[in-house]
Chains A and B, each alone.
Chain A
């Protein structure tokens, strides 16, 4: 039982390049989330998926797109990377279903992204 896994662990991009961050969970959770963590800013929600087939914007969605490929996988894509997107990205999942939101979120180990 691996929990939440993320790939890659670390990536360096040049401005304008694109990349996809992968996330998978093996806990049969309905909801999945993408956060970014920046010093002094805490964790900020980029996008979330309440269930397979649905995605919604979070607090800081600009410059990102997501795909909920199936119940297990939720990817985050940067179409044209910018230095402001240098951050640590965390994927999380929870059992949450609409109407029962107060469930523990389980986080992956993170992806460190550096955009030059």
Chain B
């Protein structure tokens, strides 16, 4: 079953615009929510992550917004640049002594930023 649902599947944004990617999860035990960025032909790399004790985390032009009651979180890319064109994956995992770092990934969003 898909425990993390991501939308949209693809996104086209003009340079300088805001890119927004949304994820929803089902399992309330999730307590770590990273976003990974993947360029064509490369493996994914961690972009930014959040834990549910905060509602927002910002790193440069990238911001995660987290809504625990709605079980949703989103990635905002401000002032989007052509170099941001990539596939973005949200993910979730559960802490605990029996957990070993397993991540559940969303389906991915392909972002194209037009010059």
Interface residues, chain A, with chain B CB atoms under 8 Å away: 4, 31, 33, 35, 40-45, 48, 50, 56, 58-59, 90, 92, 94, 96, 98-99, 101-110
Q: Are A101 and B107 in contact (CB under 8 A)?
A: no
On whether the beta carbons of B101 and A102 are closer than 8 Å, the reply is yes
CB closest residue in chain A, given B42: A109
Asked if B43 and A110 sit within 8 Å, CB to CB, the answer is yes
**Stretch in B62-70, B72-80, B88-96 with 4+ CB within 8 Å of A:** B88-96
A107 CA to B32 CA, complexed, in Å: 18
B residues in contact with A109, CB < 8 Å? 41-43
22 contacts between A and B (CB under 8 A): A33-B101, A33-B102, A42-B6, A43-B44, A43-B105, A58-B102, A90-B43, A90-B44, A98-B97, A99-B96, A99-B97, A101-B102, A102-B95, A102-B101, A104-B34, A105-B101, A106-B45, A107-B43, A109-B42, A109-B43, A110-B41, A110-B43
CB distance from A39 to the nearest CB of B (A): 8
Residues 8-67 (chain B) with a chain A CB within 8 angstroms? 9, 31-32, 34, 41-46, 49, 51
Question: A104 touching B46 by the CB < 8 A rule?
Answer: yes
Nearest CB to that of B90 among chain A residues?
A42
Q: Give every chain B residue within 8 A of A103 (Cβ-Cβ).
A: 101
A42 touches B102 (CB 8 A): no
Tell whether, in the assembled complex, residue B107 and residue A42 are in contact, meaning their CB atoms are under 8 Å apart: yes
Q: Which of B31, B42, B45, B102 contacts A45 (CB 8 A)?
A: B102
Query: Which residues of B are found within 8 Å of A41, using beta-carbon distances?
Result: 107
Q: A42-B6, A108-B43 are in contact. Are A102 and B105 (CB under 8 A)?
A: no
When C-beta atoms are compared, the residue in chain B nearest to A108 turns out to be B43
A16-B106 Cα distance, complex, nearest whole Å: 31
> A42-B6, A102-B93 are contacts. A50–B100 as well, Cβ < 8 Å?
yes
Query: What distance in Å separates the Cβ of B84 from its nearest Cβ neighbour in chain A?
Result: 19
Q: How far is the CA of A33 from the CA of B96 in the complex (A)?
A: 18
